[in-house]
Amino acid sequence: MRIESVSVESCRLPPSSPWEDATNKVDGLEWFFVELRTDNGLVGTGISYTVDVGGTAIQALIEDYLAPLVIGRNPLEYEALWQTLQRQSRRLGLGANSMAVAAIDVAVWDLIGKQYKQPLWRLLGGARARIPAYISEIKLTAEDTLDDLLHRVDDYIAQGYHAMKMKIGRDDLDEDIERIRCVKEKLGRGGKLMVDLNQKWTAAEARSKAARLDNLGLTWIEEPMLWNDIASHRALRQAVRTPIALGESLYSKSQFLQYLQSEAVDIVQADIAFVGGITEWVKVAHLAETFGKPVAPHFLMELSLQLLCGVSNGLMLENVIGGSLTELGLLAEPIRVEGAMGVPSERPGHGIVLDMAAIRAHKLTPAVVRSSFKGGSK
Ligand SMILES: [Mg+2]
């Protein structure tokens, strides 16, 4: 089997409900979809994304630099292919190039599944046939009242959810604590509540503020501080009982290894696109397993569902309100989580069928970026 052609489509569109957290207001999600066609008639679809920034550069990186390198290659040799793409782009550091490599790597894995006529979750190990899901909200606005929040929680519970993550990081920690207490009470004894700071706190703030959260029964505190301050995460982890979750801002297995060896993380949240695709994500998951840590991947619900069911240490599937491919209307066959339980498709490959007309309707171009990008970092 040889790859004969590569094509790339990209789009930019806002989350289907507005996103704001402690450090960002998000105007647009930028998606990349790669199509690899092989000489035996298979078509593999790659999926990658970035939040608000870099999309036109990533699209050019895929089309102009990386796509030509995969023509004539055998997709079953995924490791060699990944190494080629990573080595060729390593002078860019880690980040935009990881997202570009991921777009191709995911398509390669889709082809592997189609060649072997197996869904990815089984091809990667088939550790379980279903995975519990949690609701993830990005709604930290001054206008969002406690009543509004609790009404939404009622709705999630009615859908079968008993696990939920909310953004915190208000200037007044007492406000955060009041909201946490009320949501926790609604979720009940068996409920799980997680909170996400998006790197808002300084190390000094984290020491005092996390201590005040520590008796609230939270399932985890996510990204409390700057992503690269491993020492402060280690110190915080030693100071509080509540588990520390992070990983959406790490881009390689060696960065995860540093956190794991430093005993600075409890829940590993590698994002398939940000670490360069499925090839690297699986290595991160296995690495976490050797340290006895679960994985709860960031975002990309439809794709994460497949991978979580493949590995032995999958914990929970994140269903981000306003950000799944299904909610954004980009799938020809929507993938929904029913009763808070993710069940991966049996279709060979990743099982995700795109709606190309919907994607083209939101085409990413420099003109679109110039008219819609506002720069929402706080
Ligand atoms: Mg997060």
Position 3 scores a pLDDT of: 98
- Residue 378 lies inside a defined structural domain of this protein: no
Q: How far is the CA of 34 from the centre of ligand 1 (A)?
A: 26
Q: How far is the CA of 134 from the centre of ligand 1 (A)?
A: 13
Q: Any idea what the CATH number is for the domain that residue 94 is in?
A: 3.30.390.10
Position 109 scores a pLDDT of: 99
Residues 250 and 270 in one domain: yes
Residues 174 and 135 in one domain: yes
Q: How far is the CA of 65 from the centre of ligand 1 (A)?
A: 31
Q: How far is the CA of 41 from the centre of ligand 1 (A)?
A: 39
Q: How far is the CA of 245 from the centre of ligand 1 (A)?
A: 9
Q: How far is the CA of 196 from the centre of ligand 1 (A)?
A: 6
Q: How far is the CA of 4 from the centre of ligand 1 (A)?
A: 38
| Cβ–Cβ < 8 Å for 103, 50 | no
Residues 246 and 297 in one domain: yes
Residues 268 and 170 in one domain: yes
| pLDDT tier for residue 23 given thresholds of 50, 70 and 90 | very high
How much of the chain exceeds pLDDT 90, in percent? 100
Position 137 scores a pLDDT of: 98
For the full predicted model, state whether its pTM sits above 0.75. Answer: yes
Nearest to 20 by CA among 140, 198, 148, 144: 140
Q: How far is the CA of 85 from the centre of ligand 1 (A)?
A: 27
Q: Any idea what the CATH number is for the domain that residue 164 is in?
A: 3.20.20.120
Give one DSSP letter per residue of 75-100, joined into a string.
TT-HHHHHHHHHHHHGGG-SSHHHHH
- Residue 350 lies inside a defined structural domain of this protein: no
C-alpha span between 293 and 314 (Å, rounded)? 9
Position 92 scores a pLDDT of: 96
Residues 235 and 323 in one domain: yes
C-alpha span between 237 and 247 (Å, rounded)? 15
| Cβ–Cβ < 8 Å for 340, 132 | yes
Residues 78 and 127 in one domain: no
- Residue 157 lies inside a defined structural domain of this protein: yes
Which pLDDT tens digit goes with each residue over 29-44? 999 999 999 999 999 9
| pLDDT tier for residue 217 given thresholds of 50, 70 and 90 | very high
* Token couple for 112: 């592997």
Residues 105 and 133 in one domain: no
| Cβ–Cβ < 8 Å for 206, 224 | yes
Residues 145 and 286 in one domain: yes
| pLDDT tier for residue 18 given thresholds of 50, 70 and 90 | very high
- Residue 325 lies inside a defined structural domain of this protein: yes
Position 201 scores a pLDDT of: 98
Task: Average the pLDDT over 121-127 and give the result.
Answer: 98
Q: How far is the CA of 298 from the centre of ligand 1 (A)?
A: 7
- Residue 347 lies inside a defined structural domain of this protein: no
Mean pLDDT score across all residues of the chain: 98
Give me the sign of the Cα torsion angle 324, 327, 331, 332: positive
Q: Helix, strand, or coil here: 295?
A: strand
| Cβ–Cβ < 8 Å for 236, 207 | yes
Which pLDDT tens digit goes with each residue over 245-287? 999 999 999 999 999 999 999 999 999 999 999 999 999 999 9
Position 207 scores a pLDDT of: 96
Q: How far is the CA of 222 from the centre of ligand 1 (A)?
A: 6
Residues of the domain holding 68: 3-118+355-372
Total tally of structural domains belonging to the chain: 2
Q: How far is the CA of 167 from the centre of ligand 1 (A)?
A: 8
Q: How far is the CA of 221 from the centre of ligand 1 (A)?
A: 10
Position 13 scores a pLDDT of: 98
Q: How far is the CA of 247 from the centre of ligand 1 (A)?
A: 8
Task: Average the pLDDT over 99-122 and give the result.
Answer: 98
CA separation, residue 170 to residues 11, 177, 318, 375 (Å): 32, 10, 23, 20
Q: How far is the CA of 244 from the centre of ligand 1 (A)?
A: 12
* Token couple for 355: 């709606």
Q: Please give the distance of CA 241 from its chain centroid, rounded to a whole number.
A: 25
Which pLDDT tens digit goes with each residue over 149-164? 999 999 999 999 999 9
Q: How far is the CA of 220 from the centre of ligand 1 (A)?
A: 11
- Residue 377 lies inside a defined structural domain of this protein: no
Position 349 scores a pLDDT of: 98
Q: How far is the CA of 13 from the centre of ligand 1 (A)?
A: 20
Neighbours of 110 (CB within 10 A): 29
Position 36 scores a pLDDT of: 98
C-alpha span between 289 and 312 (Å, rounded)? 8
- Residue 327 lies inside a defined structural domain of this protein: yes
| pLDDT tier for residue 115 given thresholds of 50, 70 and 90 | very high
Residues 294 and 182 in one domain: yes
Residues 200 and 70 in one domain: no
Which pLDDT tens digit goes with each residue over 332-365? 999 999 999 999 999 999 999 999 999 999 999 9
Give one DSSP letter per residue of 119-181, joined into a string.
BHHHHTT---S-EEEEEE--B--TT--HHHHHHHHHHHHHTT--EEEEE---SSHHHHHHHHH
Position 123 scores a pLDDT of: 98
Residues 77 and 189 in one domain: no
Residues 181 and 311 in one domain: yes
| pLDDT tier for residue 322 given thresholds of 50, 70 and 90 | very high
